[in-house]
Copies of this chain bind each other. A is one copy, B any other.
Amino acid sequence: MADDKKLVEAITSMEEDFAQWYTDVVKKAELCDYSSVKGCMIIKPAGYALWEQIQQQLDAKFKETGVENVYMPMFIPESLLEKEKDHVEGFAPEVAWVTHGGLEPLQERLCVRPTSETLFCDFYKNEVQSYRDLPKVYNQWCSVVRWEKTTRPFLRSREFLWQEGHTVHATAEDAEARTIQMLNVYADFARDVLAIPVVKGQKTEKEKFAGAESTYTIEALMHDGKALQSGTSHNFGDGFAKAFDIQYTDKDNTLKYCYQTSWGVSTRIIGAVIMVHGDDSGLKLPPKVAPTQIMVIPIQQKKEGVLDKAYALRERLLKSGFRVKVDDTDKSPGWKFNECEMRGVPFRIEIGPKDIENNKCVFVRRDTREKTEVALDDVEAKAAELLETIQKDMYEAAKAHLESHIYSAVTWDEFCDTINNKPGFVKAMWCGEQACEDRIKEELTATSRCMPFEQEQLSDTCVCCGKPAKKMVYWGRAY
């Protein structure tokens, strides 16, 4: 059965070349494909089903906090994009411009939205009149375009899918509270659904969103020790409100500017799922987000009764609410095992003539490969239990990996050595000056990932310049 190994052999090992491993997994697990539109990807059924799971579950969390979904145009007139100075500076260099509609040139260029702050502001300007209209807590699921030079599937592409929440509030306090609330929704979702532990904190001035007063982030650590910014939440203060003239009449009958936020998670987070959990056999999907949670693989399926038993198992498990499939193709069992591992199905059930005789089947976990015999009568209960265990164990494994890859450095030498030789997050003190961030980026290709909410006083001086320290920062190389 040399064939059975083909899928696996075709993958580069993680240790050998992590970047190539990533590309191989994305391709072999059939998550996405390149298109003939440079820098844009095709999200294939397995990848899109994963996005649907993420979308549905995150959307439900949003709605619990009062979010309402809307849809804004995909085009932004150039004059609208230009209304907020920092914002346009940040985005104008990387947008796609529509200049012709049908056969005629447009009077004003339209950019394809790279993000929709300006459209929401333009809308809120008319929609919000009185304190009674506040807050508005809107979100949209859509695709956005940023004309990136170098692209990688899910991590950086010219078009990607995301959600962008845009809210407007009466007070600065309300806006800050919503900003933090949504960051926590993201962090909890990463932990509870994606089994990904994250570091929560604030971005530095240099790294914050164009036009924001403050940007908060969840940072995850990939298997190779590089960081991935996995979700951000921005507090705009009244900056956009002043640029777009969004005012409301308060209870005291005076006109006041509104306060705004925005927050987003994109298909990039699929990259995090791949790179946090995957191994040399392919994807490993956390049960809560796996489009297929259980794959039933019949052994000697041509023998009478085997396929029937496999289908019966599927029906029972479907009825209990699991996402389950039977692989009844004419491939060999070994091939099916490999394929099912490549695609990250949390566990498979093997069932053959001998199992049926003994009224049992075999559960094989994707994460640990552990095999357990299960009496056919107990299948539902044991499946529920195992999915829960896998979800928990995957989180614990990721957490252990994260924790064992957080270092701290006090001196510049320590810092350089750690960044260069120990992939992971490096905690170090910072004076607050961009010059030090710039030097670290230039010399070490590392960036400030965030100023974590949980601050420590590692020393009194900046790791880079030696001046008095203001903040402890998580530094790292990042995607």
Contact = CB atoms under 8 A, between A and B. Distances in A.
A148 to B, nearest CB: 9
B143 A35 contact: no
Contacts of A76: 37
Contact of A41 (B73, B96, B158): B73
Contacts of A48: 68-71
A142 interface: yes
B69 A42 contact: no
A100 B102 contact: no
A33 B72 CA distance: 10
A36 B99 contact: no
Contacts of A122: 35-36
Given A68-B49, A70-B48, A100-B96, A40 B138 contact: no
Interface string A73-100: 1111100100000000000011111111
Given A68-B49, A123-B42, A138-B45, A37 B73 contact: yes
Residue of A40, A80, A101, A110 contacting most chain B CB atoms (<10 Å): A101
A375 to B, nearest CB: 32
A370 to B, nearest CB: 31
A438 interface: no
Contacts of A26: none
A70 B49 CA distance: 8
Given A98-B96, A99-B97, A74 B143 contact: yes
Given A98-B97, A99-B99, A100-B99, A45 B68 contact: yes
Given A33-B123, A43-B70, A97-B101, 5 more contacts: A45-B138, A74-B74, A74-B159, A75-B159, A101-B158
29 contacts: A35-B122, A35-B123, A37-B75, A37-B77, A40-B73, A40-B75, A42-B70, A42-B71, A42-B73, A42-B123, A43-B70, A43-B71, A44-B70, A45-B138, A48-B68, A48-B70, A49-B68, A51-B71, A74-B143, A74-B145, A93-B103, A95-B102, A96-B100, A97-B98, A97-B99, A97-B100, A98-B98, A101-B147, A102-B147
